[in-house]
Chains A and B, each alone.
Chain A
Amino acid sequence: MANNKEELLKQLADAVVDMDEEKAVELAQIIVAEGIDAYEAIEKGLSAGMEVAGRLFEEEEYFIPELLMCSDAMYAGLGVLKPHLKAKEGAAEEKVKIVIGVIEGDTHDIGKNLVKILLETSGYEIIDLGRDISPQKFIDTAKEQDAKIIAISTLMTTTMDGLAEVIRLLQQQDIREQFKVMIGGAPVSQAFADKIGADSYAVNAATAVRLARQLMESVA
């Protein structure tokens, strides 16, 4: 059984990497039937597959179309697994909310969407504002929804001042301490995050999940 489980999870990850939606669905169904924990299947199957896809993108084996097709396979598997996610013990525990979006002036949202899926499957409640979002809108939504984290993405250096503006506004309104601010996107760097005073910088989607966890532990 143990071998079978490891094998199934690996095959599920491979189905994501191979962009095979049907295979991902079929395997997810077998996994459910075998009674394997859905959360584990998402983490060690679907997410693991996306991580490999991300690495292949860095290595220029895969390009953006392939990444999107991998995420389709991931979504397909997720559709099967999600209804089987067990509510945590003492189900009253509320999910941490994250407001996510692409900053004003930029409409590239493929990266943001990947981060969103991974955060969602990792147990966060995501409020997705979409793209081309003004700095104040991030803050207003975070306040309204009582979110703990504001996650902002950009692909264009021309819009990076908008990321700094979110932090400036939080400071001006004296609520900087209420929210953790995560930033990401190809042109963003740790040096940039340090310069504008963001709480963390995620180099890719998998790192974003890890950082969100760390940020929440740091305030717990």
Chain B
Amino acid sequence: MTIKIIACEVMKEELLRVASDCDIDFEFISMGLHLHPEKLGEELQHLLDTLSGYSRVILAFGLCGGAARNLKAAGFQLTIPKVHDCIPLLLGSTASYETFRSEEKGTLYLSGGWMNGERAILSEYDRIYQKYGERKAIAVFNRMYSSYRRVLFIRTGSEREPFFLQRSHQIAELLGLSHQITDGNISFIEKIVKGPWDTKDFINVPSGESINEWAFYEGKLEM
């Protein structure tokens, strides 16, 4: 069976580690696009449309603000985890995510992957600082994150973890938030790569059909 995984770069390190003994093609998408769900969706569809020769294509994404809405599978089975964003994937399950959410709604979840890229919090802060000065930068970032109370850093076993943790602490300090660390769980990411892609955790779309947004809500939206 030939598999391709299209993934958000936020989970790049974890996915590649899990897949080190597998023959799988990977393609990674910039996490900068998560600010623009519609564009992310267009980008993903464009990529899917160019694929051929795969029996299954897995999207290592969640619904991601609606980005996965209506993505069409053509010539392969399309599989996507039944999650709203990447946090349950990093934590290992939706249940675990729910626990942290009920503990503190104003949680800023971070992992190593969230420290990379130009839209990462510290690089964005540096950009604004350089361009508009410290007073503006502080004022704007205080407002952008005013609803957050704590940073929760999810450990995923990266070799660069000490560096990531240092950045995570820096973010908490900058935004005036408390800082906590929790152990992630690689099992969901492992299932993305190796299966089983069961209907409890995944949405599987046969060739010729599209991802139905409502499947992510598991009947909750019924009127």
Interfacial residues, chain A to chain B (CB-CB below 8 A): 19, 58, 60, 63-65, 68-69, 105-110, 131-132, 155-158, 160-161, 164, 167-168, 186-189, 191-192, 195-197
Q: Are B105 and A68 touching (Cβ within 8 A)? A: no
Q: Are A107 and B148 touching (Cβ within 8 A)? A: yes
Q: Are A189 and B132 touching (Cβ within 8 A)? A: no
Q: Are B144 and A68 touching (Cβ within 8 A)? A: yes
Q: Are A69 and B217 touching (Cβ within 8 A)? A: no
Report if B179 contacts A (CB, 8 A): no
Can you name the residue of chain A whose Cβ is closest to the Cβ of B88?
Answer: A158
In the complex, which residues 128-171 of chain B have their Cβ closer than 8 Å to any Cβ of chain A? 128, 132, 136-137, 140-141, 143-144, 147-148
Give the docked Cα–Cα distance between A19 and B140 (Å).
12
What are 25 contact pairs spanning A and B, CB under 8 A?
A58-B36, A64-B35, A64-B144, A65-B140, A69-B132, A69-B136, A69-B140, A105-B105, A107-B147, A110-B143, A132-B105, A132-B147, A156-B65, A157-B216, A158-B84, A158-B101, A160-B221, A161-B220, A161-B221, A167-B223, A188-B66, A189-B69, A195-B221, A195-B223, A197-B223
Smallest CB separation, B151 vs chain A (Å) = 14
A residues near B35, Cβ cutoff 8 Å: 63-64
Cβ-Cβ contact count across A and B, 8 Å cutoff: 75
Q: Are B147 and A108 touching (Cβ within 8 A)? A: yes
Sample of 13 further A-B pairs with CB below 8 A, known A105-B105, A158-B101? A60-B32, A65-B137, A68-B140, A105-B101, A108-B147, A156-B85, A158-B84, A158-B85, A186-B66, A187-B37, A187-B65, A188-B66, A195-B214
- Interface majority SS on B: helix, strand, loop or mixed? helix
Give the docked Cα–Cα distance between A109 and B106 (Å).
12
Report if B57 contacts A (CB, 8 A): no
- Which 7 A-B pairs have CB atoms at the shortest separation, nearest pair first? A107-B147, A187-B66, A187-B65, A65-B140, A158-B84, A161-B220, A157-B84
B residues near A69, Cβ cutoff 8 Å: 132, 136, 140
Report if B175 contacts A (CB, 8 A): no
B residues near A196, Cβ cutoff 8 Å: 221, 223
Report if B191 contacts A (CB, 8 A): no
Report if B63 contacts A (CB, 8 A): yes
Q: Are A161 and B147 touching (Cβ within 8 A)? A: no
Smallest CB separation, A162 vs chain B (Å) = 10
Q: What are the interface flags for B185-216 relative to A under an 8 Å C-beta threshold, 1 for contact and 0 otherwise?
A: 00000000000000000000000000001101
Q: What are the interface flags for B61-99 relative to A under an 8 Å C-beta threshold, 1 for contact and 0 otherwise?
A: 001011001000000000000001100000000000000
A residues near B143, Cβ cutoff 8 Å: 68, 110
Give the docked Cα–Cα distance between A115 and B29 (Å).
31
Q: Are A191 and B223 touching (Cβ within 8 A)? A: no
Smallest CB separation, A64 vs chain B (Å) = 6
Q: Are B105 and A157 touching (Cβ within 8 A)? A: no
Smallest CB separation, B223 vs chain A (Å) = 6
Report if B42 contacts A (CB, 8 A): no
Q: Are B223 and A157 touching (Cβ within 8 A)? A: no
Smallest CB separation, A132 vs chain B (Å) = 6
